[in-house]
Structure 1
Amino acid sequence: MGVHSLGYLRLNTPDIDAWKRFGEDFVGFMSVEGADPDSLYFRMDHYPARLVVTPAEVASCTVGFEVMNRRELDELVRAISAEGIEVSAGSEAECAERRVRGFVRFTDPGGNRVELFYAPILDHVPVHTPLVSAFVTGNMGLGHVIVTAEDVEKTFDFYNRVLGFVERNTSGPVYFMGCNPRHHSFGITPRPGAEGRVVHIMVEAATLDDVGLALDRAYDMDVPMMNTLGKHTNDQMVSFYVYSPDNYAFEFGWDGLQVTEEVPTYEITEGALWGHRFSPPPQK
Structure 2
Amino acid sequence: MSITALGYLGVSSPRYQDWREFGGAVLGAQVTDDGPDGAVRLRIDDVDWRVQIHPGEQDRLEYIGWLAHSEKDLPALVDTLAGVGIEASWGSRELAESRGVFTLITFTDPWGFSHEVAWGQTRSASGFIPGRPMSGFVTGAQGLGHVVLILPDVDAGHTFFTETLGFEFSDAIIDPTIGDPEHGFYGRFYHVNTRHHTLALVNGPPHLAGLHHLMLQVRSIDDMGTAHGLLDRHNVPETLGIGRHTNDEMVSFYCTTPSLFNIEYGYDGIELDTDHTPKLFGRGSIWGHKLNPESRHRAPGLMHPLPTPTT
TM-score (norm 1): 0.95
Q: What is the CA–CA distance in structure 1 between the aligned matches of 2:166 and 2:202, rounded to whole Å?
A: 18
CA apart distance, 1:151: 2.9
- What amino acid does structure 2 have at the position aligned with 1:139? A
1:239 is aligned, of 252, 276, 286, to 252
Query: Partner of 2:302 in structure 1?
Result: none
Query: Match for residue 24 of structure 1?
Result: 24
Moved more, 70-79 or 13-22: 13-22
Aligned twin of 2:160: 158
After superposition, the C-alpha distances for 1:159-199 in whole angstroms (9 at most, x for unaligned) are: 11121111111123311111100000101123343343201
CA distance in 2, matches of 1:88, 1:149: 24
| 1:251 partnered with 2:261 | no
Aligned match of 2:274:
261
CA deviation after TM superposition for structure 1 residue 283, in Å: 6.3
- The answer to whether the Cα contact below 8 Å between 2:59 and 2:260 also exists between their aligned partners in 1 is no
- Check whether the contact 2:16–2:53 (CA below 8 A) recurs between aligned residues: yes
In 1, the alpha carbon distance for the partners of 2:160 and 2:296 equals 35
Unaligned stretches of 5+ residues in structure 1: none
Letter in 1 for 2:115: V
Q: Identity of counterpart residues, as a percentage? A: 29
2:23 and 2:238 map into 1 onto residues whose CA distance is 16
Q: Please identify, of 237-246 and 258-267, the stretch whose mean Cα deviation from structure 2 is larger.
A: 258-267
Question: Alignment partner of 1:257: what SS?
Answer: coil
1:52 counterpart = 2:65 = no
Match in the other structure for 1:218: 231
2:77 aligns to what?
Answer: 76
RMSD, aligned CA? 1.6
Aligned-partner Cα distance in 1 for 2:226–2:9 = 24
1:186 partner amino acid: L
Map 1:117-128 onto structure 2 (within 5 A): 117-128=118-129
Q: In the alignment, which residue of structure 1 is the partner of 2:178?
A: none
User: SS of 1:270's equivalent?
Assistant: coil
**3-state SS of 1:4 partner:** strand
Which 4+ runs in 1 deviate beyond 6 A? none
The Cα of 1:25 is off from its aligned counterpart by 1.3
| Aligned counterpart, 1:281 | 295
* Partner residue of 1:143 out of 118, 142, 145: 145
How far apart, in 1, do the equivalents of 2:40 and 2:259 lie?
15
Q: Give the CA deviation at 1:122.
A: 2.0
Kindly tell me the number of residue pairs found equivalent between the two proteins.
284
In structure 2, C-alpha distance between the alignment counterparts of 1:264 and 1:272, rounded to whole Å: 20
Tell me, in whole angstroms, the C-alpha distance in 2 between the residues paired with 1:35 and 1:238: 33
Alignment partner, residue 214 of structure 2? 201
Cα distance in 2 for partners of 1:111, 1:187 equals 16
- How many Å separate the matches in 1 of 2:77 and 2:296? 41
TM-score normalised by the chain length of structure 2: 0.87
Letter paired with 1:200: H
CA distance in 1 between partners of 2:199 and 2:297 (Å) = 29
127, 134, 145: which one aligns with 1:132: 134
d(CA) in 2 for partners of 1:199, 1:123? 30
Q: Find the aligned partners of 1:205 and 1:190 in 2 and give their Cα distance.
A: 27
Q: Using the alignment, how far apart are the partners of 1:245 and 1:60 within structure 2?
A: 12
Once the 2 structures are TM-superposed, how far is the Cα of residue 139 of structure 1 from its aligned partner? 0.3
Matching residue's letter, 2:275: E
- State whether residues 108 and 155 of structure 1, in contact with CA within 8 Å, keep that contact through their aligned partners in structure 2: no
